[in-house]
Structure 1
Amino acid sequence: MPAAGFMDLDQACADPSHPAPHMVPSASRFAAAMSAQGVVRERPVVVYDSLGLFSAARAWWLLQAMGHEQVAVLNGGLPAWQRAGLPVNTSAPRDIEPSRYSARWRAQRCCDAETVLASLAQPRVRVIDARGAARFAGRVAEPRPGVRAGHIPGSVNLPFDRLLVQGRLRPQAELRAAFEAVGATAQHRLIFSCGSGVTACVLALAAQQAGYTDWSVYDGSWSEWGAEPSLPLAVGEE
């Protein structure tokens, strides 16, 4: 897309010291990455990806969690843009004038394994897993070495692709119905998990669109939980 920059969720916008993939970076590391891309805190940012809606949701969540107020996701991403016949750029990346970006971490949009573990005894918390049904039930091996198969005890399964049609979020009423079908009501605090914290953000974006306000993303997700043998494990259907 013309004039677009690149948000590197695996390296520049991640914590390289953590064993789990693309974990949240420090505010200073994130600010440096945004400054290099010329992002200005007071200006709107639109994020998209090449699949329709996948990693763009992670970028949206991370920007919001770092205090950027005006962030939108291009629904349908690059495929929708191209189907609409809009211009794309295939030349070398443009020269970017660096900015002086500042980040302010909002801890309420993110939680760790300790918080998730404590929430399992709280009836008003619903942990929702965005992975496919076979991975959630532990019927297939996890793709990452050393990670157990199964799910967080008490969590429910809502595969992220059920919330999409051709890479776009479903209408608000359908999103709300999907969350209600797994027992998520307006009275629940929602915690989203997945394999490595990416598609959990698709659930977060969908929940916000559906009107939920009390939610957070478990950043380490199953790549962290499943690799820690001291944490409880469940297999089979929810």
Structure 2
Amino acid sequence: MNNFINVNQLKENLKNVVILDVRFDLHDSNYGQQKYDEEHIIGSFFIDLDKNLAGEKKEHGGSRPLPEIKEFIKKIERLGITKDSSIVVYDEEMVTAARAFWMFKYIGHKDIKILNGGYTEWLKEGGVVTNEKTQLPETSKYNFEILKDICADIVEVKEAIKEKDISIVECRSFERYLGQNEPFYSKPGHIPTAISIDSKSLLKNRKVKSSEELNEIFRRLNSSKNIVFSCGSGVNASLDYAVYSEFFSNGKVYIGSYSDWTSYSENSIETKDEN
């Protein structure tokens, strides 16, 4: 796989990659840092979803909008990352790691992979962990190039609702898609015309499903010119994007996602199954 790396492959390349720990709990913003301090993959650095991979929440733009790019670049330069770095990102469910994966793709980084199975699989396979903080290398210089084609805004989403050859994919759980369960937002449901492909449906035992299984899941998107992945705040959608882009190049993430969509009172929502 191009976007994922297994535990054994990482074990063999520990000295040749930059490893980023992106563990996070949507209900506890301190979880990731605490877990990193307790133990982490040897040689890894911690990246915080809200502090490093998202910007300040405002009235519109979603609950986890894009960070200020210059600040993000400063962060990765402090970790010694260059455009030629081989990067591996991990968490426990491959969701926040996928947001990091997408973020690096957005700035034009080519060699980045998600640890298949995440930290749980690393421990299961006897990977080395430590509680020692990784020593920072010399600050690097990162020359970035924004790839706007993999990021969708609300204007594109409104266009997708009208156009039959652009598909919106809702990546939250099917229950949240139907508006039956919504723990974060006041308006339960989904963006009109969106179909449901829960990011968890792409995994089996915490790892990415086989190519045959994934192609079967994505088959209904074959007739679409472009695919816009949406979730609550552009996190789960990043996992759908990472898996989908193993096979196709016409996917993009609506970073503002449902939290941005519902911030506009005039925007309608649906609770019916549109699959």
TM-score (norm 2): 0.80
* Structure 1 unmatched runs, 5+: none
AA in 1 matched with 2:44: A
Is contact 2:53-2:99 (8 Å) kept? no
Is contact 1:130-1:203 (8 Å) kept? yes
Aligned to 2:56: 16
Residues 82-139 of structure 1, C-alpha deviations (whole Å, 9 max, x = no match): 1111101122343343222232211100011111011111111110001111111112
The equivalent position to 1:45 in structure 2, one of 84, 87, 94, is: 87
* Displacement after TM superposition at 1:18 (Å): 3.4
Structure 1 88/186 Cα, relative in aligned 2: closer, same or farther at 3 Å? Answer: farther
Q: State the SS of the aligned residue for 1:212.
A: coil
> How far, CA to CA, are the matches of 1:126 and 1:156 in structure 2?
8
1:7-86 paired onto structure 2 within 5 Å: 7-16=47-56, 18-19=58-59, 20-49=62-91, 51-86=92-127
The equivalent position to 1:126 in structure 2, one of 161, 167, 176, is: 167
The equivalent position to 2:214 in structure 1, one of 135, 160, 175, is: 175
Residues 17-65 of structure 1, C-alpha deviations (whole Å, 9 max, x = no match): 535333112321221111122212211111111x131111111111001
Q: Does 1:166 align with 2:199?
A: no
Q: State the SS of the aligned residue for 1:5.
A: strand
> How far, CA to CA, are the matches of 2:50 and 2:263 in structure 1?
19
* Displacement after TM superposition at 1:235 (Å): 1.4
Aligned to 2:28: none
Aligned to 1:213: 249
AA in 1 matched with 2:48: D
Report how many residues are paired: 232
Structure 1 16/187 Cα, relative in aligned 2: closer, same or farther at 3 Å? Answer: closer
Q: Does 1:200 align with 2:240?
A: no
AA in 2 matched with 1:8: D
Q: State the SS of the aligned residue for 1:14.
A: coil
Aligned to 2:179: 138
Residues 192-223 of structure 1, C-alpha deviations (whole Å, 9 max, x = no match): 001111010110011112x1110100000111
Q: State the SS of the aligned residue for 2:49.
A: coil
> How far, CA to CA, are the matches of 2:77 and 2:64 in structure 1?
19
RMSD: 1.6
* Displacement after TM superposition at 1:12 (Å): 2.5
Aligned to 2:150: 109
Moved more, 118-127 or 4-13: 4-13
AA in 2 matched with 1:143: P
Q: 4+ residue stretches of structure 1 with deviation over 4 A?
A: none
AA in 2 matched with 1:163: L
